[in-house]
Amino acid sequence: MFVVSSLALTYRQPAKLDDQLDATAAIVAVKGATIQFAQSVKRGSSCMVEGDVTIACVDRVSGKPRRLSPELKQQLEARMQNKETGT
C-alpha cells in the first residue's frame, strides 16, 4: 500500500472552472521504500501549479515502511531512465 509521505506545492496562477488543464507527473527518484514525483498542472503553456510528491510503501497491517519489491523498483527505474532519454 502507498501513502503520501511528503507534499510541496507552489501555486503560480489561479485556474477557473472551465479551464482546460493538463496535468503531468514524472518519477524523479526511487529509493528503498519511497518514490518521488515532480508534478505540474498547465493551462496551455502557462504553469498553474508545480509540486513534489513523495509516496511511501507501507505494510497494510502495521503501517510501517516496507521496501519496494525488486521487480517494482526495477520497472520504475527503467521508466525513469526512458523519460530521461526520450525512449
Taking 70 as the pLDDT cut, the residues of the chain under it are 84-87
Residues 6+ apart with CB under 8 A from 19: 43
Q: How many helices (H) and strands (E) does the chain have?
A: 1, 4
CATH number of this structure's domain 2-70:
3.10.129.10
Task: State the pTM of this model.
Answer: 0.84
Domain boundaries, the chain: 2-70
C-alpha angle 7-41-2 in degrees, rounded to nearest 5: 35
Are 67 and 35 within 8 A, CB to CB? Answer: no
| 17-32: pLDDT as tens digits | 999 999 999 999 999 9
β pairing state of 2-11 and 22-30: unpaired
